[in-house]
Structure 1
Amino acid sequence: MDLTVIWAAIIALGLFMYIALDGFDLGIGIIFPFFPDDSERDLMMHSVAPVWDGNETWLVLGGAALYGAFPAVYSIVLSSLYLPISFMLVCLIFRGVSFEVRGKANRTKNLWNLSFILGSAGATFFQGVVLGAYLQGIPVKNGVFFGDAFFWVTPFSFFTGMGLLITYSLLGASFLVIKTEGDLQRRMHGLIWPLTLVLIGFILVVTLWTPMTDPHAASRWFDSPARFLLYPVPILVIVVATFMFNAMRHQHDSMAFLLTIILVFLGYIGLLFSIWPYAIPGAITLWDAAAPRSSQVFLLVGAVVIIPIIIAYTTAGYWIFRGKAEASTHY
């Protein structure tokens, strides 16, 4: 049993769960400026108020698992991407405070609206920047980062930052279709198809851009014996987009969110395929970066206990607060 692969899968699961769950409440903050009515904004925030903090548990799980199972990667990523990660965390703090304060504020309500918008958009953008810098490759020498503090400031990383803004916006709009009704729901329906087309455009550009700048990704996509496993993905993206168009035309409440999750998952699969088997693309493999087997076994015992607990209370939270959000409800 290869514990290194198991831990890579656990971290990949944690990151995907974070993207899928926290992505939609960050997305609500991103589309917030386009809905200036206070009553609609209250409803949008109430739709995620009971669950938003629980969604971020998956980010904590992914970070803790990375620190324990792949300490070399944790060290390199934190030291190389310290600035965008710090900016992301500051944005998440302001966004979290706005959730708690905005509902009780009167004179400063607009200030907390702005905090929610900028915190959500900023956290999303810098997550995308981190992703883009990671995909392009972190300069590593003798197992440590040796590049410039601003090596992450590139057109590609900024492009992936914008792409994640669109991704989370689509997640947010499709989630609000489930949680709202009436005129607000109809306008969310109207957002989903244009956002889907823009997201597919971003996926196409990243798909073309990545192998042009990363020889390893190009080799994986075009020369690897496993490349045939990736070839159905573009076809599946077209199929999902077709279903999305039909779902919007018939205004299905839950189908749009499910299809958005599938679309994000397909992009995520392409990302994982591109970097395998590296922990730091082009520099350090998973096995070179892994902690000793004894540490992996010890951590795995804890993961076997904690992951079902996280899944259980996350599921319970969504079940308890299922149904349409109400503007008069406060949490």
Structure 2
Amino acid sequence: MEPGNGTQISEFLLLGLSQALELQSLIFGLFLSMYLITVLGNLLIILAVSSDSHLHTPMYFFLSNLSLVDICFTSTTVPKTLWNIQTQSKVITYEGCITQMYFFILFAGLDDFILTVMAYDRYVAICQPLRYTVIMNPRLCGLLVLVSWIMSVLNSLLESLMVLGLPFCSDLEIPQFFCELNQVIQLACSDTFLNNTIMYFSAGLLGGGPLAGILYSYSKILSSICGIPSAQGKYKAFSTCVSHLSVVSLFYGTSLGVYLSSGATHNAQSSATASVMYTVVTPMLNPFIYSLRNKDIKRALQRCLGR
């Protein structure tokens, strides 16, 4: 690949999920359907929580924040994909690519942090129920969300600024349907050791750290549940965690599965297809997971829709 002057780069090419023209209509329909379901489902969760005073609790406050982040997370990538398919174009401008990458990292990090905060909320509710309202007061809840935003913004800003300093080669094809950090760094013509170091360090710290916090919280929760004498009490305590545990498993399972499989197969097309799981499918399923098993959410939604 011939080196190119980084200041002259004006656009990248997003290769998408498939080059076959006959599949573009199917891909467009699937992406549009999943995007509309994601936005509508998460908006309904936000509406239900905000309109019902019974849901003005820490658990549902964090859930509404998660729904908002999921809408933003999906909106970072899917509308551009739909536009490119509709216009039969693969182009994304250099500025658009950096912007998309910034917001993708931001909202992916926020998803991670809010899921961790929700695990802590469940830990306090089950392991220290008598002190729950004292510990999980509105000030602490707001502070936890604020810190999550600050850390995600700083990390995303650092990663994006590091990419801005890279010169790129003449081959500017990204084998993805969005500007993924790792794929963009691979197109650079200069030494990317520092970029890769920061990227993997951030992934380990801001991805592995929250995961460790979630696992620790659930180890304490499980220990506390085992100490409950009655089977009904155990079921009631565990049932409050099932939805969150399902979302955590889905988020980490799909994202880790994508990167582990892509590292093993080195197949860019397979990696792009697998990325749909955690970028589009997981945010779409979250509202169903929380609403189908949650009677409070169901009642709130029925009141809202009935009204």
Query: TM-score of the superposition, structure 1-length normalised?
Result: 0.34
Structure scoring higher RCO (CA < 8 A, sep ≥ 6) equals 2
Query: TM-score of the superposition, structure 2-length normalised?
Result: 0.36
User: Highest Rg: 1 or 2?
Assistant: 2
